[in-house]
Amino acid sequence: MKTLLESGFSVAVQPGAGVDAGFSDQDYEEAGASIEEEPWRGADFLASLRAPAPEWLGLLNPGAVVVGLFSPAMEPDLAVGAAEAGVSLFSLELLPRITRAQSMDALSSQATVTGYWGTLVAATRLPRFFPMLMTAAGTIPPARVLVIGAGVAGLQAIATARRLGAAVVGHDVRPVSQTEVESLGAKFLSLEAGDVTEGSGGYAASQPAEVQRRQREVLAPAIENSDVVITTAAIPGRRAPVIVTSEMVQSMRTGSVVVDLAADTGGNCELTQVGKEVRVPGGAVVIGVRNPPGGMPMHASQLYSRNIVTFAQAVLSEGKISLDLTDEVLEASCVVYGGEIRHQPTADRVGLAGA
Ligand SMILES: NC(=O)c1ccc[n+]([C@@H]2O[C@H](COP(=O)([O-])OP(=O)(O)OC[C@H]3O[C@@H](n4cnc5c(N)ncnc54)[C@H](O)[C@@H]3O)[C@@H](O)[C@H]2O)c1
């Protein structure tokens, strides 16, 4: 906010927008913003988290920029609405993974919160300690935690579980993640399979049947031996891969916990129900965490605001929108510009929706 005001912009905020994050309307007013029922009315730049209501788009100034985390291919109506309203739509999921875009990378900032929160959910739900304890009343061994998916969220989950003193194992299909997992003091569970399919930009891709079979072989005993399984595996723009089967969960001891942090995109566990806790025959529970960053709204918002402000600085100049779509950051994250849907998967989806 301060940065935007110093750059000569006026900022309007919806009433109550920051309540869960710990900021009152008065806090925003004291920082120099105005509180408005419809802050998008006549705005040149609209920052939101998820898709704005379709009717807001027509109330923005023509040529306005809308930015957020929109999963555009999953929401073709948003792109169509933006194209019809003549506003430009940018989605931060599409940012290229280059150094200059890192401070705008909302997927990473929110994944950091997700991983931390997921471990805390597991630790508070598990009916035993995470750390090893040596007490006069006996010695308690550390909890065994398995983290599946060692991207940003997974590594944060591992680091948090290690800080709490658990014995942690990390697993990922990308062999390069082994060093990162081990640098956090966890063991790495490798597939030792040669035919893992690599994605681009450091992301994973869907795995062939043979790799999936090998993965189940490797994971089944590891899951049976774990008190906690935290899953974070994702493939950009796709449903989350199903990795943990119901048999695997049923093999876990009574009281064990599976925390599925990919629940919003379909879940990594066969038994996951988003926003619910499922008790499984055998005594384990599967927690399908809905919107994990929402578990820690203050820091999730703070990090997201930094992502948005950095993006705003890239598209606003001397009080005006100034879009240079030859800039690779803007080019990659642009969904709609000049009435045209430029993001091909979204355009394909719109074509399908209209067919
Ligand atoms: N340079 C940058 O700007 C930048 C920014 C963020 C992340 N990264 C890197 O990109 C990589 C991906 O990170 P992310 O957090 O965005 O990933 P993500 O959220 O897309 O996926 C989470 C993890 O799940 C793993 N996964 C996917 N399918 C799987 C399967 N079937 N079984 C097991 N694991 C599976 C992925 O390999 C990934 O590590 C990491 O190496 C991360 O450090 C780079």
**Which residue range forms the structural domain that includes residue 22?**
2-103+297-348
Q: Is 225 part of a structural domain of the chain?
A: yes
- Domain boundary residue, one of 295, 311, 327: 295
Q: Are residues 97 and 122 part of one domain? A: no
Pocket lining: 119 vs ligand 1, CB cutoff 6 Å: no
- Decide if 109 is inside a domain: no
Residue 210 lies in a domain: yes
Centre of ligand 1 from the C-alpha of residue 215, in Å: 17
Distance 81 CA to ligand 1 centre (A): 31
- Give dist(CA 154, CA 255) in Å, integer: 22
User: Which pLDDT score is estimated for 211?
Assistant: 86
Token representation of residue 216 = 């189940």
C-alpha–C-alpha distance, residues 136 and 271, integer Å: 40
Cα of 178 from ligand 1 centre, angstroms: 12
Grade residue 238 by pLDDT with cuts at 50, 70 and 90.
confident
Which of 172, 192, 268 has most ligand 1 atoms within 8 Å of its beta carbon, as the pocket-test mutant? 172
pLDDT of residue 353: 65
Within this chain, do residues 304 and 289 fall inside the same structural domain, yes or no? no
- In 3D space, the residue among 147, 150, 154 whose CA is nearest the CA of residue 114 turns out to be 154
Cα–Cα distance between 36 and 180 in angstroms, integer? Answer: 46
Listed residue (71, 170, 119) closest to 287, CA to CA: 119
What pLDDT, on the 0 to 100 scale, is given for residue 354? 58
206, 235 contact by CB (below 8 A) = yes
Q: What is the mean pLDDT of residues 268-276?
A: 98
Q: Among 268, 295, 322, which residue terminates a domain?
A: 295
Residue 283 in any domain: the answer is yes
Q: Is 172's C-beta closer than 6 angstroms to any atom of ligand 1?
A: yes
Phi, psi of 94 (to 5 degrees): -90, 0
**Ligand 1 pocket, 241 CB below 6 A?**
yes
Give a yes or no: residue 353 inside a domain: no
Q: What is the mean pLDDT of residues 202-228?
A: 89
DSSP string, 132-165: -EEETTEEEPPPEEEEE--SHHHHHHHHHHHHTT
Which is nearest to 155 in space by CA: 261, 255, 241, 235?
A: 261
* Predicted confidence (pLDDT) per residue in 182-208, tens digit: 999 999 999 876 656 667 777 777 778
Regarding whether 118 and 238 lie in a shared domain, the answer is yes
Three-state SS at 82: helix
172-202 burial by CB neighbour count: b if 16+ within 10 A, else e? Answer: bbbeebbebbeebebebbebebeebeeeeee
Q: Are 335 and 94 in contact (CB under 8 A)?
A: yes
Q: Are residues 202 and 277 in the same domain?
A: yes
Q: What is the pLDDT of residues 33-65, one digit of tens each?
A: 999 999 999 999 999 999 999 899 999 999 999
Count of CB atoms situated within 10 Å of the CB of 221: 12
pLDDT value at residue 128:
97
- The CATH number linked to 56 is 3.40.50.720
Q: Is the CB of 234 under 6 A from ligand 1?
A: yes
Domain tally, the chain: 2
Residue 215, both tokens: 């993965």
Looking at the predicted structure, is the pLDDT value of residue 170 above 80? yes
Are 290 and 149 members of one domain?
Answer: yes
Asked if the model's pLDDT at residue 215 lies above 80, the reply is yes
What's the pLDDT score for residue 236?
80
In a domain, 108, yes or no: no
- Residue 157 alpha carbon to ligand 1 centre in Å: 13
Query: Of the candidates 277, 295, 313, which is a domain's last residue?
Result: 295
At 109-152, the pLDDT tens digits run 999 999 999 999 999 999 999 999 999 999 999 999 999 999 99
355 assigned to some structural domain:
no
Whether residue 231 has its Cβ less than 6 Å from ligand 1: no
Whether the CB of 243 sits within 6 Å of ligand 1: yes
Asked whether residue 147 falls in the same domain as residue 285, the answer is yes
**169 neighbors 162 (Cβ within 8 angstroms):** no
Same domain flag for 121 and 257: yes
Q: Are residues 152 and 289 in the same domain?
A: yes
- The answer to whether residues 20 and 148 belong to one domain is no
Chain-centre distance of CA 336, in angstroms? 22
Write the single-letter amino acid at 127: P
Q: 265 and 332: one domain?
A: no
Cα→Cα distances 65→48, 62, 138, 207, Å: 11, 9, 61, 37
The answer on 333 and 283 residing in a single domain is no
Mean pLDDT of the chain: 93
Question: Which positions are catalytic?
Answer: 97, 102, 105, 108, 203
**Which residue in the block uniquely carries the two structure tokens 């906010």?**
1
Write down the residue that tokens 């009574």 correspond to.
254
Domain match, 187 and 147 both: yes
Q: Is the residue at 354 inside a domain? A: no
234 CA → ligand 1 middle, Å: 7
- Atom 17 (ligand 1) nearest CA: 151
CB 125 within 8 A of CB 143: no
- 193 residue type, one letter: A
